[in-house]
Amino acid sequence: MQLTVWTYEGPPHIGAMRVATAMRDLHYVLHAPQGDTYADLLFTMIERRSQRPPVTYTTFQARDLGADTAEIFKRAAAEAYARFRPQAMIVGASCTAELIQDDPGGLARALDLPIPVVPLELPAYQKKENWGASETFYRLVRALSGPAPAPGAPRPGAGGRRPLCNILGPTALGFRHRDDVAEITGLLGRLGVDVNVTAPLGASPADLGRLGEADFNVVLYPEIARAAAQHLQKTFGQPMVETVPIGVGATRRFVAEVAALAGVDPGPVLEGAPSRLPWYARSVDSTYLTGKRVFIFGDATHALSAARIAATELGFRVVGLGTYTREFAREVRAEAALHGIEALITDDYLDVEAAIQAVQPELVLGTQMERHVAKRLGLPCAVISAPVHVQDFPARTSPQMGFEGANVLFDTWVHPLMMGLEEHLLGMFREDREFSDAAPSHLGGKPRAEAERSPAAAEPEPVTTVTLAPGQIVAWAAEAEKELRKIPFFVRGKARANTERYARERALPLITVETLYDAKAHFGR
């Protein structure tokens, strides 16, 4: 276990909470000490849910360790059932309570509650949040979806109805899961396919009992739903659609795959595809942005999709690709190889920051951690994956999937580049009298004339110090830093790195304007 300021994933019991919070009439009894009960903040403050997650904590304290903590758990479970009357219950332990080895599953069975109780074995010191969500959903589906039908038995209600599918994978605290479900449900409806159950998001334990009635399953988020879908395929003979419909190309493949399973014509939906991304990507402004170098990091679903969209639909060049989802490392490495790069598989944000600095991309697509890193490095950035913060749970509908999701992606990814270009052009012409009062509209800064009148404007700019390697430090003179800012934003990072490398190789303690131009001439040969 590693202590860190930021983390991409919490322990696996947080994944279990994401499933429980997404569902209705399901309650989670968590054996946890005082201090492990912080997860409420994730849902009520970050996702802005209107109710607390359906979790009861035992909340034992240090003084209880000398007594019977098992009795504390049994009392909490009995009280939770009496108070909430759920259709089903899941029980487990947090990472700290796991060390006590009280066996919540066995203790819950001893209570003989009149509802299904699903025990969770979530090894907190070997696995993490997404695995915990996947395992929890799998255990619930396995326990509640019912037994396998008799060989040759017809599917319930199969005659005289439209094709029926389940949508699997969306959870609480997922990146745009609510909006993705709305978009894909509408897309399936236009194809002539009805949705039987969407789970975990919005489903009840009783709904999980109806999963076997569908003709096939749609797996929107493989990290969460692949294991459950494989169980349903084995038990009920339901095929699954694993194409994740993010981007125009993937959405078209998704439509074709669903149509083949449902026996419907995809033509009307494909011909009437409403996405404007292909046209925008061919427009003048976007052509000017073609070839920009992009670094991508996030969960496997969104990182893989982003790499394909960036390279094949927007004309970007992928110079970095990685994920913190180690269970999908093979798929990410295979995709990275197609772009001629080596995948970054890590859960340490400092490794990701170092990789971004090394390749000096012109755009970063990542999580909220990469947003902070890019801001510090002065790079445009768009968030494409959890973990995210409150601003990435918008009140408006903003899907990532489907044809409308492709429109959202174009706006989200390209606008930071275009606004950065605006800032650079304003900076280039700032000495022109016509533009003397101009400031980038998206930065909210003071006009130049007003800034020059303020006392702070007369103060000299501080020297920037940059650590290049252990024991080696190079400083930038204020005038050199000012000159560097005249370089276009999309090559400024590379110019900085080359100049620092030039200074380090020549043991120059201070980078001046002359050093900057000497380095430019050296690397321009």
Domains and CATH numbers, the chain: 12-128 (3.40.50.1980), 164-272 (3.40.50.1980), 277-415 (3.40.50.1980), 475-524 (1.10.8.550)
| DSSP letter assigned to residue 525 | -
Residues making up the annotated binding site are 36, 420-421
Find the mean pLDDT for residues 368-377: 91
Q: Is position 285 annotated as part of the catalytic site?
A: yes
- For residue 363, give the H/E element and its range: strand 363-366
Residues flagged as binding site for [4Fe-4S] cluster: 36
Catalytically annotated residue among 285, 411, 432, 518:
285
Cis upstream peptide for 222 (omega within 30°):
no
- Strand pairing category for 240-241 and 293-298: unpaired
**Vertex 346: Cα angle to 340 and 351 (nearest 5):** 85
> Can you read off the two tokens belonging to residue 283?
């427009």
Strand segments, DSSP code E, in 303-349 are 317-323, 344-345
Q: pLDDT tens digits for 467-488?
A: 555 546 688 988 888 888 777 6
pLDDT tens for residues 343-355? 999 999 999 999 9
DSSP 374-415: HHHHT--EEE-SSS--GGGS-SS---SSHHHHHHHHHHHHHH
pLDDT of 501 higher than 90: no
> How far apart are the C-alpha atoms of 390 and 98, rounded to whole Å?
31
Greater confidence (466 vs 305) lies with: 305
Residue 439 in contact with residue 445, Cβ under 8 Å? Answer: yes
pTM: 0.81
Q: Cα–Cα distance between 27 and 79 in angstroms, integer?
A: 12
Q: Binding site residues for substrate, as ranges?
A: 420-421
Give the pair of three-digit tokens for residue 313: 């639909």
- Asked if 516 contacts 480 with a C-beta cutoff of 8 angstroms, the reply is yes
| Burial of residue 203 (number of CB atoms within 10 Å: 0-12, 13-18, 19+) | buried
pLDDT: is 225 or 279 the higher one?
Answer: 225
Cα(140)–Cα(156) distance, rounded to whole angstroms? 21
* Residue-wise pLDDT tens digits, 11-39: 999 999 999 999 999 999 998 887 766 77
CB atoms within 10 A of CB 356: 25
Which tens digits make up the pLDDT trace of 410-463? 999 988 887 655 554 445 445 555 444 444 444 444 444 444 444 444 444 455
Rounded Cα distance between 87 and 140, Å, is 12
Strand order through the sheet with 194-199? 194-199, 164-168, 216-219, 240-241
For 21, the 3-state DSSP assignment is: helix
Taking the C-alpha atoms of residue 88 and residue 25, their distance in angstroms, rounded to an integer, is 7
Task: Give pLDDT tens digits for 124-163.
Answer: 888 999 999 999 999 999 999 988 887 776 766 666 789 9
Cβ atoms 461, 449 nearer than 8 A? no
